[in-house]
Structure 1
């Protein structure tokens, strides 16, 4: 199992400019991005055994991270399609 953190700039390598623009111009996107970052770091700490957690807790966090990633991807796609 890979214990590499899934940072947004790694998940969306071609969208660095859009990520930055949305973080600074869209409060909802900034909140989603921050929530993703917090959950992602927690998952990484659990996977690297820095922080103990049950398998169910880890699974729930991964589902939440995936949901946030889907929302972020949708917002990035909408930004691309409007050219913003």
Structure 2
């Protein structure tokens, strides 16, 4: 869906405390969060502004975002 929220806190509200804790104490996790947030913002901007971009490009961004989200979730569950 266009403009749909995919930030990590929105995706995993039950883990908000753990997300905040890990972001503050784990540099690797914080770096992944920053990369995820940047990519999520880029995807939303492309979708909302209707910026001309190849379908393959935006789909690749979405796949990268999903992989980052999976890595973040894995770290949160350990």
Shorter-chain TM-score: what band?
A: over 0.9
Cα RMSD of the aligned pairs, angstroms, is: 1.1
What TM-score comes out, normalization by structure 1 length?
A: 0.86
Number of residue pairs matched by the alignment? 78
**Match of 2:49, SS?**
coil
The structure with the larger Rg is 1
Please give the per-residue CA displacement for 1:22-58, whole angstroms capped at 9, x wherever unaligned: 0010000000000000000000011112533211110
Structure 2 alignment gaps of length 5 or more: none
- The match for 1:33 is 33
- The match for 1:75 is 75
The alignment status of 1:15 with 2:15, answered yes or no, reads yes
What TM-score comes out, normalization by structure 2 length?
A: 0.93
